[in-house]
Structure 1
Amino acid sequence: MDRHEFKKRVIEYAHTIGIDDIGFTTAEPFTEFKAKLIDYYKNGYESGFETGTIEERTNPKASLANAKSIVSIAVGYPNKLRNAPKSKQGERRGIFARASWGMDYHTLLRTRLEKLEAFIRELDPSIDCKSMVDTGVLSDREVARRSGLGFSGKNGFIINPKLGTYSYLGEMIVSYPFPADEELLDSCGDCNICVDRCPTGALVGNGQVDSKKCISFLTQTKGFMPMEYRSKIGNRLYGCDTCQQVCPRNKGINTEHHEDIVLEPEILKPELTSLLQISNREFNKTYGHLAGVWRGKKPIQRNAIIALAHFKETAAIDILKQVAETDVRPVIKGTAYWAIGQISGDEALDYIYERYGIETDDDVKKEMLMGIQEAS
């Protein structure tokens, strides 16, 4: 069959295995993106989670020497959590970002890409394929943009006409010359809502994100949360959806037809104090399937403590004291002391000063003092 018929059959099959949109581009280097990437690193916007060198990230043939094309896929995910439990006094709850709802999207996309690879090889066994999902060296968003799946918004997301920004992206480098799709010529125009509404000013305005200011990045770090951002975290346990929630292009969009994206309201919006008392085994059993726990339990627990301080949850004081006095991890211990000061204010002075003479870690002691100083 010719290239166009081959492409048509791949597209038809893709839609039968849960791929909502599919696009094709060449395996030529991403020269424009390379310039942006150089600027990105020059400005210090990187998170540290990036994989590969600039050359590897912009040259598909560095990943597959005989690459001819790249197949980009998009799978929409839900953005509304029906029957979500209410967060109320005495039972405050946190929230996982929408990209972490349901099965870990790495697993979900890999399953679809593996099926697509098998189908392509069935049609032509000589074709080499190399799939990537998020952790690969190529930029999923830049590949999707050049493949015609959407345009790059000011919030850095790919805005797809059917899925908005709420889609998982993955790609497959192949040694077959599929006809390339045209890029989608669209833009945010004068709209600047996401930039204006970003809680920490992380959006630069040209589609780039200063990762070190981005709440999504901050919630995934393992150390002490920088003080200037704690008041911005709210009840977020992992990620941030603000720049997607305010985007007008997402109005009326909510992808709910995928049977393997199962929403669990009690898990996605968990009670905060229960997270502070959970064992490693129970945590992994309950939350291990979520993409949002890839960094482990510690960041989630730290964020839960910050959320309790955000809510001024007095009912959590006894549990926070238990955590502060018994947890061996300085980040968790110190953040708990800080939260006690934030919640109780002057009433925490005697307790903090008494415990100050007992604690030995300098970072923990610093947190203790900052908690009561900020609250007074």
Structure 2
Amino acid sequence: MDIQQLKEDVMQYSKTIGIDKIGFTSPDVFTQLKERLRVQQALGYQSGFEKGTIEERTEPKLHVPEAKSIISIALAYPSKLKGAPRSKKGERRGIFCRASWGEDYHNVLNDRLNKLASYLQERYPELRWRSMVDTGELSDRAVAERAGIGFVGKHTNLITEEFGSYVYLGEMITNIPFPSDELVEDSCGDCTICVDACPTGALVQGNQLNAQKCIAFLTQTKGFLPDQYRSVIGNRLYGCDTCQTVCPKNKKKDFHLHQEMEPEPEKVKPLLTPLLSISNRQFKETYGQMSGSWRGKKPIQRNAILALAHFKEESAVDELTRLMFEDPRPVIRGTAAWALGKIGVASSEEVIRKARATERDEDVRAEMEKGLALLNESSH
């Protein structure tokens, strides 16, 4: 079989099923990545969401022993929200990052990869394959970079010439010996805008991220948010786009190529206060199709409370008071008590003291103390 011809056919076919960019590379061990991952692990910079061992993350043949190539795909997503509702006093809104706009991208990319696999199966009956999107062991970025889709910028996102870094990535390991594509040259130069703009200093230096400090990671945690990050999270409910929005390579990049990725303004920029009383069922019905819902409603609600505190939204005081007294989850009760202190309505002092009198959880009581201290500060 003419493999070069098959490769060209696959490239043509990929356009017809909504793949914006495709590249091919070898299944060799990602030796540089392996070294980098060891360093990240030793420094404690990993998020904990990573799947598999370092070997499983850098050795494609552990997943498909007869692997001869990896196909990398990229789909561009929108960066501008059309018809975005305004956030104003009394009607404050939160924001989901762009990677959570529209339908869960894992489903969208898996759909494209499955179509690609069916096409290949017809042309190459002895096909062996395995595909991954984000939650698989392999690093989508490392594969895409080696497959010539783009280069990894200092913000650790893959940058493509056409779409900037606003792309979702996925890959398929195959036993077809496709020839590899050429690498794209890194063109960040000495620009450090993303490193300088990171709100928490999570970009330790170009190409090195401390995931433990990254807002995108912090918004997905389920415990109390560490104090030092509460004032910088702003109104982010899920994820963070700062390093991408400041990147010069993303200037004027906004693509609306896939209907599934189109954001619904009310979902991706929702009113904050109603989120605090949403039921599990309502949450699933409203947000279940979005990638930002994967950790459930608790982190989103905690972040919504922090956002209301950020805005010092007095209209939320009654709802926050209710949560502090009634919510069964310590993280929500405690964060609500802290937020009441941050908002700074004088009458909250008596309310927090009253709740503290019956509160059994030590962590929640500690948050109540912080709330009282904040009230004390604001009254002087």
Tell me the TM-score normalised to structure 1 length: 0.99
Output the amino acid matched with 2:36: K
Question: Deviation of residue 187 (structure 1)?
Answer: 2.7
Question: Deviation of residue 374 (structure 1)?
Answer: 3.1
2:87 is matched with 87
Matches of 1:374 and 1:239, distance apart in 2: 27
Matches of 1:11 and 1:372, distance apart in 2: 62
Question: Deviation of residue 76 (structure 1)?
Answer: 0.4
Question: Deviation of residue 358 (structure 1)?
Answer: 1.4
Moved more, 168-177 or 200-209: 200-209
2:193 is matched with 193
2:265 is matched with 265
1:112 is matched with 112
> Secondary structure of the residue that 1:80 maps to in structure 2?
coil
2:220 is matched with 220
Matches of 2:338 and 2:301, distance apart in 1: 14
Question: Deviation of residue 282 (structure 1)?
Answer: 0.6
Output the amino acid matched with 1:310: H
1:157 is matched with 157
Matches of 1:263 and 1:348, distance apart in 2: 37
Map 1:307-326 → 2, pairs under 5 A: 307-326=307-326
1:7 is matched with 7
Aligned residues of 2:256 and 2:262 also touching (Cα < 8 A): no
Output the amino acid matched with 1:191: C
Aligned residue pairs: how many? 376
1:280 is matched with 280
Matches of 1:293 and 1:103, distance apart in 2: 11
Matches of 1:206 and 1:342, distance apart in 2: 34
1:59 is matched with 59
Deviations along 1:213-269, one digit per CA (max 9) or x if unpaired, are: 000000000000000000010000000000000000001111102122232000110
Output the amino acid matched with 1:153: G
> Secondary structure of the residue that 2:168 maps to in structure 1?
strand
Aligned residues of 2:334 and 2:364 also touching (Cα < 8 A): yes
> Secondary structure of the residue that 1:176 maps to in structure 2?
coil
Deviations along 1:163-209, one digit per CA (max 9) or x if unpaired, are: 11100000000001101001101231110000000000000223121
Question: Deviation of residue 330 (structure 1)?
Answer: 0.1
Matches of 1:173 and 1:64, distance apart in 2: 7
Output the amino acid matched with 1:13: Y
Output the amino acid matched with 2:333: K
> Secondary structure of the residue that 2:352 maps to in structure 1?
helix
Aligned residues of 1:61 and 1:67 also touching (Cα < 8 A): yes
Question: Deviation of residue 345 (structure 1)?
Answer: 5.2
Output the amino acid matched with 1:329: R
Question: Is 1:136 the equivalent of 2:136?
Answer: yes
Aligned residues of 1:152 and 1:187 also touching (Cα < 8 A): no
Matches of 1:201 and 1:346, distance apart in 2: 34
Map 1:354-369 → 2, pairs under 5 A: 354-369=354-369
Aligned residues of 1:163 and 1:253 also touching (Cα < 8 A): yes
Q: Which runs of 5+ in 2 are unaligned?
A: none
Identity, in percent, stands at 57
Aligned residues of 2:198 and 2:242 also touching (Cα < 8 A): yes
Matches of 2:264 and 2:126, distance apart in 1: 42
Question: Deviation of residue 270 (structure 1)?
Answer: 0.4
Question: Deviation of residue 347 (structure 1)?
Answer: 3.8
> Secondary structure of the residue that 1:357 maps to in structure 2?
helix
Question: Deviation of residue 373 (structure 1)?
Answer: 1.3
Moved more, 142-151 or 341-350: 341-350
Output the amino acid matched with 1:274: P
Tell me the TM-score normalised to structure 2 length: 0.98
Question: Deviation of residue 346 (structure 1)?
Answer: 4.4
Question: Is 1:339 the equivalent of 2:336?
Answer: no
Output the amino acid matched with 1:9: D
Matches of 1:148 and 1:374, distance apart in 2: 52
> Secondary structure of the residue that 1:120 maps to in structure 2?
helix
2:299 is matched with 299
Matches of 2:102 and 2:190, distance apart in 1: 35
